[in-house]
Amino acid sequence: MRVFSNTVQNVINRDVIDFFVLIKLSFATQTYYLSSLPYDVTYNEDVYTANSGILEYDSPKFSSVVDRESYRIVATDFFDEFKEEIEYNVVGRDVEVRAGFFDSNNQPILNTSDVLLIYKGQVDSPGIVNDFDTKIVTFEGTSPMSDLDIINSFIASKDGMDQKSSTDTSFDKIYGDAVIRLKWGKI
C-alpha cells in the first residue's frame, strides 16, 4: 500500500484535485526538465521549464497484476532538440514523471515528500511526426515488466559458448565424436 504525506492526503480528500506534472528526461547530450505549469518551478534543486511543449502524457496506472503497460509522453519539438536526441539514440535513456498538487491558495506544493513519482523507466520507442506546421515527438517508456517480451537465444555449441566465455570448456565436445556413457535410472 502506498503511503502519502499528510499534505497529499488532505489534497486527495478534496472534491476537486488540481495537479501538474514534472518530467525529467535524462538524455545523451543533456537532461531536460519539463513542466505542465505556465511558469518555471524549482523542484529538488532543478528548474522545470514552463510551456515546455508537453501536449499529452499518460495518466498513472495502478495495477495489482504483473503487466507490460508502457507510458507515453507527447511534446512539441520547437527547436529540434528532441529530434537531435533521437538521432543520437534515446532508447534506454531514463525518464521520470512526477505529479504535484496545488495548495488552497492555488500555489504548487513542491516539497519532495509531497510530489509523487508516477513513472520511472527508460525510453523504448521514440517517434517524430512532422506535418510542416508542427513537429510532434513521442517518447514511449518501457514498463518494468517489458523484459518479459525479450527473446534470448543461445546456441549450444563450442562456438556459442566461446561468445559467452572463451575459458569455459563445458561445450567443447558437444558436437564432437566423444562417447559418453551415462547410467540411467537407479543405481
Per-residue pLDDT of 48-62, as tens digits, reads 998 778 888 887 666
Residue 10 gets which letter from DSSP?
Answer: H
CB within 8 A of 49, min separation 6: which ones? Answer: 32, 33, 34, 35, 40
Break the chain into its structural domains and give their ranges. Answer: 6-149
Per-residue pLDDT of 97-153, as tens digits, reads 999 999 888 999 999 999 999 888 889 889 999 887 788 999 998 765 555 555 666
| CA 139/CA 178 separation, integer angstroms | 53
Indicate the pTM of the whole model. 0.72
